[in-house]
Every structure is written in C-alpha cells, then in structure tokens.
C-alpha cells in the first residue's frame, strides 16, 4: 500500500513539476494533489475575502486548516463545505489537521491512554472522526489528513510507546479502503518522527522546525533517509502577523513537498524541495 | 550635544540627539531598564541569556536549556531592573499558539525554569509577572511569584476558542504598571489599551479604530512612547499616535513593508526596532531594523 502511494505521489510531482497553478473544474471535489511550495496555517480558517487577500500576489499556495478534534484550539465558523469548495476553486491547497488527544506526557491537553492496546484503538477512533469530518467538508476519499501531535517537554518510555501505538492506529484506520493519506505533525526534535517508521507508518510528516529555512530536505533531528519521497511538509516559522493586501492574519509559515488537498498539483517554489 | 525635542500628539521624539545608547543587536529578544540591558539569542543548546548593568559595555552570559530548538523568545526586565523573565515559544501548532518554556529569576541570574500555562509574551509589574498568549492570544494570566503559580485573568478555555475572542498584544511595561493592547476583530477592528497598576486588576482604556483588517488571532502591534502615550500600528500601514484621550492618525514614510512589531528602544530620541516581513511574492525574509524618526513618526530612516 505504502509503496504504491509513494509511486503515485512521485509520479505526480514529475508530471507536474513547474506547472502553473490552475484550479480544476468548478464542481470537482478537491482531492489529494502534490504541492511543492509555500503555505501558512492559522488557528482559525480565515474568511473568503481574507483568503483572497493572501492569495493575490503572495508567495502562498497552501493553508493548514484545523478541521476538528477535542484539543483543537480555535472554533471554525468559516470552515464549511462551501468554504472548502471556494478556496480550492481559487487554487488553494489545503492541509487538513486533526487535533485529538495528545501524548500522555504532554501537559495541558486531553490525552490518549498509556496502555498501548488502548492507545492503538484510540488512534483508530480518531481516524474515523477525522474521516467523518472531512466527508462533511466535501473532501474526497483519498484526501490527506495530518494528526497534530504536540511535543511533550520530556517523554517517558511509556509515553513514547503509547504514542507510537496511537500513530499506528491512526494510520491503519486511514488506510482502510477507500484509503486516505495519513500524516503526522510534530516538532522534528521531539524524538518521535524517526520512531514512526514502524509499519504502518505515516505516509508523510509535517515537521515543526522553526529554523527559518525554506527547505523540507533540511529538518533538524530527522534522518535524511526517512520521508524522502515527496513526503514532507515543514513548519519553518511559528506564529507571527503577516499583512497582505491590507489584511493581517496571525500565521505559521510552511514549506511543502508533499500531499495536500486541492484540485490540481502545483509546483510554486523549488526551494521547498 | 544639541538636542531638539519634538512633541507630536504625545509622541516625544528628538532630533540630532546625543550619542545613542548602543543596543547589542537588532533583536526582538532585548529588554532595557535604564542602564540595564537583557537579551536572549538562540544557540545549539537552547538560549543564551545575557545581562548588562552598564548600558551594554560588559555582559554576563548564561545558557538556558530548551527541550526543543526555537528562534522565538522574548525577555522582560522588571521596572526596577531586579528581575528578568524569558519566554521561549517552542515549536507547536497554530492550534496551541506554540508551546511555552519560561525562565525567571534575578536579572543578574541565574534564571530558573518555570511552568507556564501557555506560550506568549511576559511583562513585570513590580514583582508580579503578566503573561498573554495561547490560541488566538486570547488568554491573560498573572503570577505573584515569578511564574511558580498562575492566576487566569481573562479568556475562556484553551480549546475551541471562539472566533470573536479578542487577541491580546504583548504587555507593555509603563511607568506606573502595565498596558495590554486588546484587539477586537470585526468591521472595523479596534484596539483597546487596557492598563493595570498591580498586574491583576485592569482598567479599560482608550479605543483606537483600525482602518485595516485584523483577522481573529491578530494582536495589532503597539509601542509605548511615554506616560500614557502609545503608537498603534494599523494593518493598513498608518500609525495611530495616542496620548491620553487624544489620537492622531499619520501616514508614515520610510517604514519598510508590513510591520510585525514596533518597539521604541529610546522613545525620547525616536529610536525603535522595526520588525517586518514578506514584502513581495519572491521574498519573505523576517528582518528587524533599527530605525529613527525625528518628526513624530511621520518620516523614518
């Protein structure tokens, strides 16, 4: 399954490298597409007019949206099926994120169990919830979705094993046909990413590495031999205000060489490779 | 030395001033109280904290260990210069507003790691520490003991923060307490300058109406320029100069790109650090530039 996915994604990149952004047919459902380029993510999805302000003559092609989960920070009054259709028609690539229960060693959140069997089941349950949320938003069955897994200050062996089990459950359930593309977001130096390679492994990672470097190849603490087949997004800068076309939004900065939700593939900034 | 003071709607600035106090680098992680300076810079093991009591001529250095590397950190000195607080925001999603790593202690060091409820910005009010941050910067906390224990002052929970929640800007240390700018999102958006003398009880202050669009989560930058005097940086690019209950809106020239933050290092002489980013489709560099104005903020160089 994974080898097939990787070959499909790689072929998409080769076929569309250098292409100019182009939205698909007006009524097509957004689906998994490849992106090489810059994006941002924000706690709450902006309004359509604010999205337009950040689209026109800006470096950005992708937006991370927090579609649900018990630990999600912000409500999402703008995030509807119509919103998804509108922004993807404009050409945006979306990076859906799910913020469910967290590592038991991470303070301040709801947690999954320290028992690995229970954690695995909870991972599967969160995948089902994410699937349902994405379906309600009109996202296609092969859509990528990322689990937002915040880094604990420090982690015990028990928490590490529970987290690995949880992620395996998350991925396994998303791979049930019709298979989705499973991702995990976490700090690259949390010590987890390179431990997520046990099958079933995530199809891609979103690494938080605030080094300011627009390159998914350059990720602190992540082996260069892992996640190499167009399987990386990188959050290279944390929250800050940006103003484009008179609109200011607090965003994190992202660089992509991986799957997104869109109407067409796009290669906008090769620095992100 | 010739020294010309210019007063424009409360913004006290100077031209042809005396030799400027030399700040170490253009860096957001710098604080000063009189001749005392503190700064934080990232290094391989975390942060380097430096403290000077002689205006930057000599420095004492120490290292603050971080569990995760970051380049986002702020430092605050208490009004008497006795205490310091360093808040680093560790990589975490926009859903959390980043993860906190707080250190407090005597300004001369050593600083000790503390548990903070959210990542954000800190300021001292006497011996009390005020913290704003969290998702959409909707939360305000206060600590009576330098970050050991916390009391939530404003905001709801940490999850599912309403889109209508106001966003709190970096708390600004003033002569008689602290000011927290509160951005309310709407059409139009506004900034209210709330003040507190004890870091616990806040008084609602002047409201500035913005002409630009500040989305939920945006805390509009505000700089303090003197007693009851502020500059509010409008997303549209204009500056609102506030003094007590009077306001003047000016269109500045010479300021680079959209401004992320404006901090006066010496308001009397008009020197400031201006952080800006992303001015073109091809370039998105984050830069902090020392700048000066000598005509009340109308022109900058």
Which one of B196, B220, B244 terminates a domain?
Answer: B220
pLDDT, position B286: 62
pLDDT digits (tens, 9 = 90+) for A28-63: 789 999 999 999 999 999 999 999 999 999 999 999
Asked whether residue B15 falls in the same domain as residue B46, the answer is no
Rounded Cα–Cα distance for residues B216 and B61 (Å): 39
Asked whether residue B111 falls in the same domain as residue B50, the answer is yes
pLDDT digits (tens, 9 = 90+) for B264-299: 878 888 888 888 765 555 555 567 788 999 998 999
Nearest CA-CA partner of B274 in B257, B261, B284? B261
pLDDT digits (tens, 9 = 90+) for B141-200: 999 999 999 999 977 788 889 988 999 999 998 888 999 999 999 889 999 999 999 999
pLDDT at A249 over 70: yes
Look up the CATH number of the domain holding residue A114.
Answer: 3.20.20.80
- Any domain includes A139: yes
Dihedrals phi, psi of B151, to nearest 5 degrees: -125, 125
Count CA within 13 A, CB hemisphere, residue B222.
Answer: 36
pLDDT band per the 50, 70, 90 thresholds, residue B22:
very low
pLDDT at A23 over 70: no
Look up the CATH number of the domain holding residue B180.
Answer: 2.120.10.10
Dihedrals phi, psi of A129, to nearest 5 degrees: -60, -45
pLDDT at A234 over 50: yes
In terms of residue numbers, what domain contains A133? 2-13+24-272
Which ranges in chain A belong to alpha helices (H)?
2-16, 48-53, 81-90, 116-136, 157-174
- Any domain includes A19: no
> Is B277 part of the contact surface with chain A (CB cutoff 8 Å)?
yes
pLDDT at B220 over 90: yes
Asked whether residue B230 falls in the same domain as residue B201, the answer is no
**Of A10-19, A36-45, B48-57, minimum mean pLDDT range:** A10-19
Domain count within chain A: 1
Mean pLDDT of B129-147: 96
**Of A113-127, B84-98, B110-124, B212-226, minimum mean pLDDT range:** B212-226
- Any domain includes A248: yes
**Is residue B119 within 8 Å of residue B95, measured between CB atoms?**
no
pLDDT at A20 over 70: no
Mean pLDDT of A123-129: 98
Give the closest of A72, A212, A239 to B160, CB-based: A72
Which one of B192, B220, B248 terminates a domain?
Answer: B220
Asked whether residue B114 falls in the same domain as residue B153, the answer is yes
Terminal CA-CA length for chain B: 21
Residue identified by tokens 């690494």 is A207
Asked whether residue B211 falls in the same domain as residue B225, the answer is no
Give the minimum alpha-carbon distance from B70 to chain A in angstroms, rounded to a whole number.
6
Domain count within chain B: 2
The count of CB pairs under 8 A between chains A and B is: 183
pLDDT digits (tens, 9 = 90+) for A211-229: 989 999 999 999 999 999 9
Mean pLDDT of B198-218: 93
pLDDT at A11 over 60: no
> Is B255 part of the contact surface with chain A (CB cutoff 8 Å)?
no
pLDDT, position B17: 31
pLDDT band per the 50, 70, 90 thresholds, residue A70:
very high
> Is A46 part of the contact surface with chain B (CB cutoff 8 Å)?
yes
Pull the structure tokens for residue A207: 């690494």
pLDDT, position B290: 85
**Is residue B241 within 8 Å of residue B296, measured between CB atoms?**
yes
pLDDT at B58 over 50: yes
pLDDT at A237 over 70: yes
Asked whether residue B183 falls in the same domain as residue B39, the answer is yes
Pull the structure tokens for residue A99: 């913020």
pLDDT band per the 50, 70, 90 thresholds, residue B223:
very high
Residue identified by tokens 């004492």 is B60
> Is B175 part of the contact surface with chain A (CB cutoff 8 Å)?
no
> Is A178 part of the contact surface with chain B (CB cutoff 8 Å)?
no
**Is residue B1 within 8 Å of residue B45, measured between CB atoms?**
no
Structural Rg of chain B based on CA atoms: 18
Give the closest of A73, A77, A249 to B218, CB-based: A249
Q: Give DSSP secondary structure letters for B44-105.
A: TTEEEEEEESSTTSS-EEEEEE-SS--S-EEEEE-TTS-EEEEEEEES--TTTT-EEEEEEE
Mean pLDDT of A89-98: 97
Asked whether residue B191 falls in the same domain as residue B271, the answer is no
> Is B46 part of the contact surface with chain A (CB cutoff 8 Å)?
no
pLDDT band per the 50, 70, 90 thresholds, residue B57:
very high
Burial class (CB in 10 A: 0-12, 13-18, 19+), A27: exposed
Residues 6+ apart with CB under 8 A from A30: A84, A85, A88, A94, A138, A139, A140, A143, A261, A262, A263
3-state class (DSSP) for residue B269: helix
Residue identified by tokens 């103003």 is A243
Interface subset of B 98-157, CB within 8 angstroms of A: 98-99, 101, 115, 117-118, 134-137
In terms of residue numbers, what domain contains B275? 1-26+221-301
pLDDT at B8 over 90: no
Asked whether residue B256 falls in the same domain as residue B210, the answer is no
- Any domain includes A18: no
Candidates A48, A53, A73, partner chain B, best to mutate (most B CBs within 10 A): A73
Which one of B204, B220, B236 terminates a domain?
Answer: B220
pLDDT, position A194: 83
Give the closest of A43, A187, A210 to B95, CB-based: A43
Pull the structure tokens for residue B160: 């599912």
């Amino acid at each position: 399954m994974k080898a097939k996915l990787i070959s499909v994604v790689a072929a998409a990149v080769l076929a569309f490298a250098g292409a100019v952004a182009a939205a698909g047919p007006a009524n097509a459902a957004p689906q998994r597409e490849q992106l090489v380029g810059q994006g941002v993510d924000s706690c709450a999805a902006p309004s359509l007019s604010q999205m337009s302000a950040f689209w026109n003559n800006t470096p950005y092609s992708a937006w991370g949206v927090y579609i649900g989960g018990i630990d999600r920070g912000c409500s999402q009054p703008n995030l509807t099926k119509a919103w998804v259709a509108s922004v993807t028609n404009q050409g945006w690539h979306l990076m859906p994120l799910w913020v469910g229960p967290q590592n038991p060693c991470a303070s301040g959140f709801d947690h999954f169990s320290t028992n690995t069997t229970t954690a695995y089941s909870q991972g599967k349950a969160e995948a089902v919830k994410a699937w349902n949320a994405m379906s309600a938003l009109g996202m296609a069955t092969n859509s990528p979705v990322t689990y937002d897994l915040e880094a604990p200050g420090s982690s015990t062996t028990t928490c590490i094993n529970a987290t690995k089990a949880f992620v395996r459950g998350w991925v396994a359930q998303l791979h049930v046909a019709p298979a989705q593309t499973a991702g995990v977001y976490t700090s690259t130096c949390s010590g987890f990413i390179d431990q997520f390679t046990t099958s079933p492994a995530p199809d891609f990672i979103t690494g938080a590495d605030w080094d300011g470097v627009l390159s998914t190849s350059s990720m602190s603490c992540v082996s260069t031999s892992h996640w190499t087949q167009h399987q990386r997004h990188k959050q290279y800068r944390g929250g800050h205000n940006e103003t484009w076309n008179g609109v200011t939004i607090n965003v994190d900065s992202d660089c992509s060489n991986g799957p997104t939700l869109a109407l067409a593939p796009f290669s906008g900034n090769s620095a992100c490779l | 030395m010739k020294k010309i003071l210019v007063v424009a709607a409360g913004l006290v600035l100077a031209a042809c001033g005396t030799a400027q106090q030399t700040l170490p680098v253009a860096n957001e992680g710098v604080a000063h109280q009189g001749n005392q300076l503190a700064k934080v810079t990232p290094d391989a093991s975390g942060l380097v904290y430096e403290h000077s009591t002689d205006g930057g001529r000599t420095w004492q250095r120490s290292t603050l260990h971080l569990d995760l590397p970051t380049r986002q950190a702020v430092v605050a000195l208490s009004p008497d210069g006795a205490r310091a607080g360093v808040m680093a925001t560790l990589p975490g999603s926009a859903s959390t507003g980043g993860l906190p790593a707080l250190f407090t202690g005597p300004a001369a060091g050593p600083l000790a790691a503390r548990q903070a409820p959210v990542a954000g910005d800190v300021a001292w009010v006497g011996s009390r520490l005020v913290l704003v941050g969290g998702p959409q910067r909707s939360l305000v906390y206060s600590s009576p003991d330098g970050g050991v224990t916390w009391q939530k002052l404003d905001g709801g929970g940490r999850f599912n923060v309403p889109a209508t929640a106001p966003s709190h800007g970096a708390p600004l240390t003033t002569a008689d307490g602290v000011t927290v700018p509160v951005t309310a999102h709407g059409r139009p958006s506004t900034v209210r300058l709330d003040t507190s003398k004890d870091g616990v009880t806040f008084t609602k202050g002047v409201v500035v109406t913005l002409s630009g669009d500040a989305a939920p989560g945006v805390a509009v930058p505000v700089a303090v320029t003197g007693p009851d005097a502020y500059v509010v940086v409008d997303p549209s690019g204009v500056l609102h100069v506030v003094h007590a209950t009077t306001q003047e809106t000016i269109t500045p020239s010479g300021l680079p790109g959209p401004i992320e933050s404006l901090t006066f290092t010496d308001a009397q002489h008009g020197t400031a650090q201006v952080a800006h980013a992303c001015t073109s489709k091809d370039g998105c560099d984050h830069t902090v530039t020392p700048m000066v104005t000598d005509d009340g903020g109308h022109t900058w160089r």
